[in-house]
A and B are shown apart, each in its own frame.
Chain A
Amino acid sequence: MNTLSHKNGKIALSILGKQWVFLFLILEALYFILRATGFFSIETLQMIFFYGTEVFLLATAELLVIITGGIDLSVGYVMGFATVVSSKLMVLFGQLGLSPLVCILVAIALTLLVGIIPGWVNGCLVARLHVPPFIATFSMLGVTHGISELLLQGIPAKNLPQLAGDIGNGYFLYYIPEGRVLSFFVRPLVRRGQHVVALIPNIVVLSFIFVGIIAFILKRTKFGQHVYAMGGNIDAAIRAGINVKKDIIRVYILSSFFASLAGISYVLKYITGKADAGATLLLDAIAAVVIGGASMFGGSGTVWRTILGCILIATLETGLRMMGTPTFDKYILVGVILIFAVIIERFFPGRNP
């Protein structure tokens, strides 16, 4: 009897250790529901996801690199680089007289092409020249920062096509309860006093498509298995015949591709390009990955847990903002949770999948 309860306790502890993020998220949401007026609403939920998009994408980028046992410090400034390149291109094409939609699409495509260059350089430095990831990506941080400042010449990009903002701040679905009008993508004309419910921001849908693709790649494809294998034991991966160099270069390319996606999402949302758009997000991205249970030594971590980590941070930020406290508290709490996450990993057995 005694051993049984002991065993149950152990199981309960291990479940707690595995699912603490979830539990913490629920407690956090409850706290904010009680303390912040208007927190418990569909708008707030959407806002959490809407403002968290960049962190979702950056954390996914960071996760890939962390699984291989590396670190990518450049994601924040690669994101800034992408915002600058895409906004500059949009303005340029607009001046050439292309239609706004073509402008935006071509600019995004070109930005994604340019955006993988930093990742390729990072990957080559890490895999072929054996530069430590910390150093290689820090230099790439400096280089992308410098180039984007040079492109901007000190002035944030402006005069972007209005359509960009409409896409970025638009919703998938609009619904007017009184008139029972349903409309996709286009905001319906509203008479005075009518209330429109906007559901599912476009940008969230787009980012989750990409995040889902990465989740699929990591879980189901050979490349994904190689990524975990390299992080677990690089020597064993080499002996197992994995082309480690090629795969590491691919991982860093994917990482900077996702950072560029985050940059594009920033441009579509805020209709501007800034070199330091992602400077503060690096901490959040790494914190989300670690809170999601990935080990800094590599070999573990999943996309969905990382997203859970992101949601934890985004909820914290939104809730604190709604309570009216300055976001200074957020930095402290993210730091505490980050350290707490690692300690929990050490103390609760059966944490790693």
Chain B
Amino acid sequence: MKKIKKVYVLGALLGVLAVVSALATTWLLERTLFIGTSTSFVRAAGFIERIFAPEAVYGSTLYNLIGIRIDWQFMLVIGIAIGAFISSMLSRTFKIEFVPPIWRERFGSSIVKRGLFAFLGGVIAIYGARLADGCPSGHGISGLMQLTASSFIAMFLFFAVGILVARIIYKEGGSGK
């Protein structure tokens, strides 16, 4: 029999994890929670703002709506970093890297340049994800699994626009280094 590729086994395990997680939260927390990540970045923003300008946080409609507290999803997001750390240590794939190889090939090895675009992209990505009410975890994995109508459109746009922009910045135009 042909060996099943690792990526399919891992993908299937994530599917199982998503179902087990939905069952576990239903039983233990009395509400079904689905895997998602992007709201936690807004909560993190709320925590930081609360240190410097607490009244701005208490007066914010959105911060009140989502609640600035460490919840299930916030712990999940922290867990991702821990899981990736453990896994990379065990498989000896942990590697300190400041500029990703394909970025370096195209745009050079400047950390400042990479940092600037990573920052800017991060700002735009999370703004878009929160507006669309989900990212590739919330819409992509959890939404499609539930046959959520909006998730199909969101996921299509993530990829379609991503593919278009990737072609522009990595292939055409630009002066390289």
Co-complex (A, B): no
Chain A residues proximal to chain B, CB less than 8 Å: none
Chain B residues proximal to chain A, CB less than 8 Å: none
